[in-house]
């Protein structure tokens, strides 16, 4: 799943403007391993979006007790310039072009078909779940059920995959998203500690002490925006 999408509509609708916010994103995974064992994982990130639709995400690495700290991984999406930046250790920022719509790659689809699930799967009609309050916002729920036929999975019967999404229209973001597949387990992502104040503008700029490297050398060069180094905001 990777992350909660910062857009309640279709990805092609483009970035959400005029609705800045910051929050903590928590993803919990219950994964079924090939040997049948089950492992659980929790992944946390700080996220923010400004009024122009630019988004920022900083992954918070999980470190085992007694182990040295790991470097954080930061992603900036700038749909205005049409670029995505991946800030890595060593003060290097990898720049790549954003797909149409300006959304960060790897975010969940609201169609009920997860990436890599198989093109021959059959998505069902969306099921409306009504509305409920989540983190102080009124959210509308939708469930998608996708059936994958035995001819694709090699199993004796169809596999049912279920995606459930709760979107807050007043925030322009999905507050809670879950995905279940009996072959791989369950993945749930939610937002917490939501603040609607304008995030610091330098979050959405590559710090001046980073060297920008294009992921595709032939891509047209975009101007580098110099900004002071930043620290993650306390959410």
Calculate mean pLDDT across residues 3-27.
Answer: 75
* pTM, full prediction: 0.75
Q: What pLDDT band is residue 166 in, cutting at 50, 70 and 90? A: very high
pLDDT at 32 over 50: yes
pLDDT at 1 over 80: no
- Name the nearest CA neighbour of 78 among 55, 95, 59: 55
Pairing of strands 92-97, 211-214: parallel
pLDDT at 98 over 50: yes
What H or E segment, with its residue span, contains residue 151?
helix 150-153
CA–CA gap between residue 46 and residue 230 (Å, rounded): 14
Query: Is the model more confident about 222 or about 188?
Result: 188
End-to-end CA distance of the chain: 23
Query: Is the model more confident about 2 or about 18?
Result: 18
Average pLDDT, the chain: 79
pLDDT at 184 over 70: yes
- Place domain 11-214 in its CATH homologous superfamily: Lipoprotein localisation LolA/LolB/LppX (2.50.20.10)
Joined together, the tokens standing for residue 206 give 């590559």
Alpha carbon 87 to its chain's center:
16
CA–CA gap between residue 163 and residue 113 (Å, rounded): 8
Report domain extents, the chain.
11-214
Residue located via tokens 């059920």: 145
CA–CA gap between residue 85 and residue 103 (Å, rounded): 12
Q: What are phi and psi of 204, to 5 degrees?
A: -100, 20
Q: Identify whether the C-beta of residue 173 lies closer than 8 Å to the C-beta of residue 4.
A: yes
């Amino acid at each position: 799943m990777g992350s909660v999408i910062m857009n309640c509509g279709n990805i092609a609708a483009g970035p959400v403007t005029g609705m800045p916010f910051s929050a903590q994103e928590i993803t919990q995974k219950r994964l079924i391993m090939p040997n049948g064992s089950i492992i659980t994982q929790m992944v946390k990130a700080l996220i923010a979006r400004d009024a122009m639709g630019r988004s920022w995400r900083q992954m918070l690495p999980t470190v085992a007790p007694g182990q040295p700290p790991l470097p954080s991984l930061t992603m900036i999406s700038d749909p205005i310039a049409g670029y995505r930046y991946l800030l890595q250790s060593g003060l290097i920022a990898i720049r790549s072009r954003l797909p149409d719509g300006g959304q960060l790659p790897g975010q969940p689809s609201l169609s009920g078909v997860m990436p890599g699930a198989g093109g021959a799967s059959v998505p069902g009609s969306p099921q409306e779940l009504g509305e409920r309050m989540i983190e102080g916002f009124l959210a509308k729920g939708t469930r998608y059920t996708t059936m994958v036929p035995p001819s694709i999975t090699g199993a004796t019967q169809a596999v049912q995959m279920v995606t459930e999404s709760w979107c807050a229209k007043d925030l322009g973001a999905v507050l809670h998203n879950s995905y279940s597949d009996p072959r791989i387990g369950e993945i749930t992502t939610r937002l917490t500690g939501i603040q609607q104040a304008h995030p610091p503008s330098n979050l959405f700029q590559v710090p001046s002490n980073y060297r920008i490297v294009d992921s595709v050398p032939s891509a047209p060069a975009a101007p580098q925006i110099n900004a002071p180094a930043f620290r993650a905001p306390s959410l």
